[in-house]
């Protein structure tokens, strides 16, 4: 490895970027990866490579959001095209992002230190952003309705994948709440609430009475603040994902069903 520094997550600072120029830090054949990193990529083949760059426009899979896909191209060699099929966080090198993919021409590969251009699939990014924001809006709608109605209520986790989008909650949510949840969700979406990215330290959480939301300090580099997504007028979520600018840009969002298991509830949804 040429460097052990963390990958700069360009998408967290400007989610509208669709391309970015950066440098290759390392390039490795997939089968040379450590076992824990190979396990991250279930669909990889022996022809694949993993590239680490100085910064990245690609959102790695995590936080309930799928990874971006797209391409990397060389500024100096028009034959060097690398198709990115999956992106994950390195399990060994703290804060580094691994881009899995393959070269269109095997003999035309990047080299360490080379300047390349990353481009994401903008259509998929928009879909993932709509799904992610919609999940937070749904979570906020459920909290506003049921926090005082259900004993020990809390938000647990969420999936923002297109085929399995859902929010999970502690407590039993009966089926009779489906229509009220849809109504509150529609209200929040129609209100065009701004979705603002902010950076907070632990003191900011405490000052706002949101101690319960303070993330694990190990999720950021020493001295850095936590990234939060503030749906103005609804809810604040510690979040590293991508989002649309206002809630109406999620488009129509439908509550599909409410299921219950072992004291918890799952509210699934879809965007149209």
Give the ranges where 169-243 is alpha helix by DSSP (H): 178-190, 202-207
**E strand segments, 143-215:** 154-159, 166-170, 195-200
Q: Which residues pair with 159 in a beta bridge?
A: 166
What is 125-271's CATH number?
Answer: 3.30.980.10
- Listed residue (86, 74, 101, 90) closest to 37, CA to CA: 90
Q: What are 177-196's pLDDT values in tens digits? A: 999 999 999 999 999 999 99
**Would you place residue 249 in the very low, low, confident or very high pLDDT band (cuts 50, 70, 90)?**
very high
**E strand segments, 2-96:** 8-9, 19-29, 49-53, 55-56, 70-74, 81-89
Q: What are 61-114's pLDDT values in tens digits? A: 999 999 999 999 998 877 789 999 999 999 999 999 999 999 998 778 899 999
CB atoms within 10 A of CB 206: 12
Q: What is the average pLDDT value for the chain, to the nearest integer?
A: 93
Q: What are 9-63's pLDDT values in tens digits? A: 999 999 889 999 999 999 999 999 999 999 999 999 989 999 999 999 999 999 9
Interatomic CA distance for residues 233 and 125, integer angstroms: 25
Q: What is the pLDDT of residue 4?
A: 62
Q: Do domains 8-120 and 125-271 have the same CATH topology?
A: no
**Would you place residue 262 in the very low, low, confident or very high pLDDT band (cuts 50, 70, 90)?**
very high
Tokens standing for residue 6: 């963390």
Q: What is the pLDDT of residue 3?
A: 44
Q: What are 217-230's pLDDT values in tens digits? A: 777 777 889 999 99
Q: 8-120: which CATH architecture? A: Beta Barrel (2.40)
Whether 1 has a pLDDT exceeding 70, the answer reads no
């Amino acid at each position: 490895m040429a460097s052990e520094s963390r990958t700069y997550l360009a998408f967290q600072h400007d989610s509208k970027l669709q391309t970015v120029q950066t440098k290759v830090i390392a390039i490795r054949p997939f089968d040379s990866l450590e076992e824990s990193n190979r396990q991250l990529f279930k669909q990889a083949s022996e022809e694949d490579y993993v590239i680490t760059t100085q910064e990245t426009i690609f959102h790695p899979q995590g936080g309930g959001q799928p990874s971006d896909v797209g391409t990397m191209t060389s500024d100096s060699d028009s034959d060097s095209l690398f198709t990115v099929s999956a992106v994950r966080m390195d399990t060994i090198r703290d804060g580094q992002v691994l881009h899995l993919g393959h070269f269109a021409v095997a003999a035309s590969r990047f080299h360490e230190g080379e300047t390349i251009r990353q481009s994401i699939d903008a259509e998929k990014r928009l879909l993932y952003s709509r799904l992610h924001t919609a999940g937070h809006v749904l979570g906020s709608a459920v909290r506003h309705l049921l926090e005082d109605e259900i004993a020990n209520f809390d938000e647990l986790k969420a999936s923002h994948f297109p085929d399995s989008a859902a929010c999970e909650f502690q407590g039993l949510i009966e089926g009779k709440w489906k229509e009220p949840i849809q109504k509150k969700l529609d209200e929040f979406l129609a209100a065009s609430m701004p979705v603002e990215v902010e950076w907070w330290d632990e003191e900011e959480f405490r000052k706002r009475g949101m101690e319960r939301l303070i993330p694990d300090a190990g999720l950021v580099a020493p001295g850095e603040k936590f990234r939060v997504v503030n749906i103005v007028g609804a809810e604040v979520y510690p979040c590293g994902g991508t989002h649309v600018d206002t809630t109406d840009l999620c488009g129509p969002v439908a509550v599909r069903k409410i299921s219950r298991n072992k004291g918890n509830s799952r509210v699934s949804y879809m965007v149209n």
